[in-house]
């Protein structure tokens, strides 16, 4: 039994949804699941564009063999060697030994390193090379470090399809949708698309910018990523998001408050600041307890908004470890050019604000401190409310 959908008359989506796994890459929660997309071009020669994760292998295999329906596979294209797309490579290569494996030189090396496979027939492609399968001609576009070094996009000169590997991908199962225009993308996927981008590709903004520049010269009619829906309408919407994210430009004015709290007192100050910001008319505001919320959500909103508030107790004369982890993740993903404010607590020697400021300024570019750090000793006293008001005013004025 096959469960496929047609992208066009002769391009078939062969992927599958995984709603069973709770985490991706061993760390990112995926409460809405994830899809693994593979595409088969049924031309005079057949070409399979990547495979899928082991979790959906059975579905993929039925889809591949059912769609080929007795035809052989002539080419296997490997655009990215990460195992969430390569788990079925061995099976495909062993089942279709006459298929020519098309990939970058580096991907062919990785194919051996991961799976011990050196296929008999290979074509090592590089930027600008083409492969004709009949009607379709694929032109290859190096996408180095988007987000692995071997990545190669493929652009079909026949029908304007861009096979973008992880680029333009998102967390979230498809649930029968194939195209982004078959749902309200912003309501159903945008937050997860941003979280996927910020945490998996976010470090490599300049590499993404390079690929966007190359893509701007192409007549792209549709985008087929390896995760989440494909795009055939309003391509500018997702391309604009990628342009903003990869240039570390906030999407909109807003504030993310990230706090850690041991006994609820730092949390109380963070909550009170949130209320004061709401009272002043701020709509774009998220508040996360970083002890409980996975850092990927905080990093994602740091990509989205202009302002970040870090609130932490002083712990063993240092920043609370959960907040250290969030700052570390933001720095690793190159969050930059944001305004930030600080709340610190400490029962005998509060200094988390100084340590956070030093860490943020040392590790992230162009970070501007807004307002006076709000410092409490054990718990906030009523006489301090005016200082929190002043901080809220300063944040609002900075938006
Ligand atoms: Fe979806 Fe980088 O693998």
For the chain, 399 residues long, the average pLDDT of each consecutive 10-residue run is 97 97 97 98 98 98 98 98 97 97 98 96 98 98 98 98 98 97 98 98 98 97 98 98 98 98 97 98 98 97 98 98 98 98 96 98 98 97 96 98
Query: Smallest Cα–Cα separation from 301: which of 194, 216, 393, 213?
Result: 194
Query: Nearest to residue 71, comparing CAs of 87, 54, 36, 47?
Result: 47
302: Cβ contacts below 8 Å, ≥ 6 apart = 198, 256, 308, 330, 335, 338
- In the structure encoding, which two tokens stand for residue 43, read together? 């031309």
- Helix, strand, or coil here: 7? strand
Decide: 80 in ligand 1 pocket, CB within 6 A. Answer: yes
pLDDT computed for residue 269 by the predictor: 98
Task: Provide the pLDDT for residue 394.
Answer: 98
Instruction: Kindly state if the Cβ of 38 falls inside 6 Å of ligand 1.
Output: no
13 alpha carbon to ligand 1 midpoint, in Å?
17
Contact present, 276 and 392 (Cβ < 8 Å): yes
Expressed in angstroms and rounded, the spacing between residue 85 Cα and the centre of ligand 1 is 7
Number of Cβ atoms within 10 Å of the Cβ of 233: 12
Residue nearest (by alpha carbon) to ligand 1 atom 3: 82
**What is the predicted pLDDT for the residue at 95?**
97
In the three-class reduction of DSSP (H, G, I as helix; E, B as strand; rest coil), residue 124 is classed as strand
**Contact criterion met (CB below 8 Å) for 62 and 49:** no
SS3 229: coil
pTM: 0.97
CA–CA separation, 1 vs 352, rounded Å? 59
Indicate the DSSP class of residue 143: -
- Residue 345 pLDDT: 98
Distance of CA 372 from the midpoint of ligand 1 (Å) = 42
Query: Ligand 1 within 6 A of 226 CB?
Result: yes
Alpha carbon of 351 to ligand 1 centroid (Å): 40
Ligand 1: atom nearest CA of 200 is 2
Q: Ligand 1 atom 2: the closest Cα is on which residue?
A: 82
As a whole number of angstroms, the distance between CA 147 and CA 353 comes to: 34
Query: What's the CA angle centered on 104, arms 100 and 107, to 5 degrees?
Result: 90
Distance CA 168, CA 67 (A): 26
**Cβ 227 under 6 angstroms from ligand 1:** yes
Closest CA relative to residue 215, chosen from 168, 251, 145, 158: 168
The tokens 């078959």 sit on which residue? Answer: 182
Ligand 1 atom at minimum distance from 147 CA: 2
Taking the CA of residue 151 as reference, the ligand 1 atom at the shortest distance is: 2
Our answer on whether the CB atom of 82 is closer than 6 Å to any ligand 1 atom is: yes
Cα 369 to chain centroid, rounded: 27
pLDDT at position 36 = 98
Q: How far apart are CA 185 and CA 328, in angstroms?
A: 30
pLDDT score for 172: 98
pLDDT of residue 184: 98
Determine the straight-line distance between the first and last CA of the chain, rounded to whole angstroms.
55
CA distance 29 to 390: 37
Q: How many CB atoms lie within 10 A of CB 213?
A: 9
| d(CA 69, ligand 1 centre) in Å | 29
**Helix (H) and strand (E) counts for the chain?**
13, 23
Distance 287 CA to ligand 1 centre (A): 29
CB 163 within 8 A of CB 79: yes
């Amino acid at each position: 039994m096959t469960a496929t959908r047609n992208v066009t008359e002769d391009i078939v989506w062969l992927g599958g949804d995984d709603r069973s796994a709770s985490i991706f890459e061993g760390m990112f929660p995926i409460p809405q699941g994830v899809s693994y997309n593979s595409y088969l071009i049924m031309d005079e020669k057949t070409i399979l564009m990547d495979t899928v994760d082991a979790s959906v292998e059975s579905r993929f295999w039925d889809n591949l063999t059912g769609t080929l329906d007795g035809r052989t596979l002539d080419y296997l294209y490997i655009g990215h060697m990460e195992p969430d797309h390569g788990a079925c490579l061995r099976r495909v290569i062993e089942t279709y030994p006459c298929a020519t494996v098309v990939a970058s030189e580096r991907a062919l090396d990785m194919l051996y390193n991961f799976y011990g496979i050196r296929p008999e027939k290979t074509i090592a492609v590089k930027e600008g090379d083409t492969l004709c399968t009949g009607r379709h001609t694929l032109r290859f576009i190096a996408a180095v470090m988007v987000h692995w070094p071997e990545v190669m996009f493929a652009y079909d000169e026949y029908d304007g399809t861009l096979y973008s590997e992880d680029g333009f991908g998102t967390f979230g199962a498809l649930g029968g949708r194939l195209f982004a225009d078959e749902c309200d993308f912003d309501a159903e996927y945008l937050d997860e698309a941003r979280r996927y981008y910020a945490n998996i590709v976010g470090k490599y903004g300049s590499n993404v910018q390079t690929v966007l520049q190359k893509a701007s010269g192409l007549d792209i009619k549709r985008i087929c990523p390896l995760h989440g829906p494909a795009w055939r309408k309003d391509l500018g919407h997702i391309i604009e998001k990628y342009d903003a994210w990869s240039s570390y430009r906030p999407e909109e004015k807003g504030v993310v408050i990230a706090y850690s709290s041991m006994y609820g007192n730092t949390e109380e100050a963070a909550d009170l600041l949130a209320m004061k910001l709401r009272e002043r008319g701020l709509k774009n505001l998220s508040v996360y307890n970083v002890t409980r919320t996975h850092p990927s959500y905080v990093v994602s909103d740091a990509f989205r908004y202009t302002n970040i508030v870090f609130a932490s107790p002083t712990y063993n004369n240092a920043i609370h470890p959960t907040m250290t982890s969030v700052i570390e993740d933001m720095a690793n993903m190159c969050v930059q050019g944001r305004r930030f404010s600080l709340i610190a607590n400490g029962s005998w020697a509060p200094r988390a604000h100084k340590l956070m400021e030093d860490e943020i300024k040392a590790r992230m570019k162009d970070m501007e401190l807004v307002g006076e750090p709000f410092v409490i000793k054990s718990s906030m006293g009523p006489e301090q409310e005016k200082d929190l008001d002043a901080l809220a005013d300063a944040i609002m004025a900075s938006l």
